[in-house]
Structure 1
Amino acid sequence: MRFTPPGYGGRRRDPEQVKRDGWHEQGVLAVSVNDDRLSWPERELVRQLGEKLYGKKQEERDG
């Protein structure tokens, strides 16, 4: 019998489940600016928040 510690082996969560769990468990929100579930104003808000917190994306800085 093979033993694997928690987090190693077994069923992997899909990225959406990881994001969902992060929000529910820690209040961390991971959102893509290109998420089609968001309206244009929501995507723009995400972009502006990202720029405020972390600066412009690399491709925009190299422009």
Structure 2
Amino acid sequence: MDIPSNRYRCPLGRLQPQHTDLEALKERGWREQGLLVVAQDDERLDWMERQLLKNIGERLYGTPRQGGRHG
């Protein structure tokens, strides 16, 4: 006699964090909504591009606080 094996799914399983590919999320944001998320010290950028990002960030949001990630 074949008895179907119904696996019990623990309700706590849905509370475990899911791994998020941040680079894919940033790319999707750019392609779908025109949002750009990039760190000022991203190694893929040259000095000019980093300086441009810094200038735009300071214009829009002011200078970074001392003791921060990039301070």
Higher relative contact order (CA 8 A, sep 6+): 1
1:51 equivalent to 2:64? Answer: no
Structure with bigger helix share is: 1
Identity, % of aligned positions: 44
| Runs of at least 5 residues in structure 2 that lack an aligned partner in the other structure | 1-7, 10-14
| Runs of at least 5 residues in structure 1 that lack an aligned partner in the other structure | 3-7
Runs of 4+ in 1 over 3 A off after TM superposition: none
1:18 equivalent to 2:25? Answer: yes
> What's the C-alpha RMSD, in Å, of the aligned pairs?
2.5
Indicate the structure (1 or 2) with the bigger Cα radius of gyration: 2
Paired residues, number: 56
